Amino acid sequence: MSFSVPANLETEIDEVLTHYPEKRAASLMVLHAIQDQFGWISPEAVEWTANKLGLQPINIYELVTFYPMFRQEPVGKYQIKVCRTLSCALGGAYELHKHFCEKLGLDAHAHGPQTAKDGKFTVEFVECLASCGTAPVMMCNDDFYEGVSNAKADEICAKCK
């Protein structure tokens, strides 16, 4: 297994483990830390995590495949998440998603996250982001945007260096 984590991350993970009565209970925290570092959870990262926690890889795979926030493929530097639940769907989420896809050379009808060829942006639909009254809403990495028009979407992209 060629996967390794930076020493500072391993120190951080070791510290996290001290907060739990069993290593296994820290699985989600460890996966979040790894995804924050690498952007996704690779098969090698699954094995590393299982080994670190004294578990079998299947115990980690079942978490990575169950929770939609964990990514099993590399993503772009900027992750655009467009809410498509009812209020946002009615408020123009599909048009907004299509606008991003056309702008970035992606297929608006493809299933799942799509990453632009230059690796800068990943675009995907997500479910309710809990701001239904300000539809359509979206996130770009950790930044949240409400009432997003196509013009605002262009501004958001332009801010991403």
Binding residues vs ligand FES (CB under 6 A): 83, 85-88, 128-132, 135, 137
**C-beta of 135: minimal distance to ligand FES in Å?**
5
Ranges assigned E (strand) in the chain: 78-83, 114-115, 121-126, 138-140, 143-145
| 40 or 144: CB nearest ligand FES | 144
**C-beta of 89: minimal distance to ligand FES in Å?**
7
| 30 or 137: CB nearest ligand FES | 137
| 65 or 141: CB nearest ligand FES | 141
Cα 59 to Cα 41: distance, rounded to the nearest angstrom = 14
Residue 65, Cα to own-chain centre: how many angstroms?
13
Ranges assigned E (strand) in 7-95: 78-83
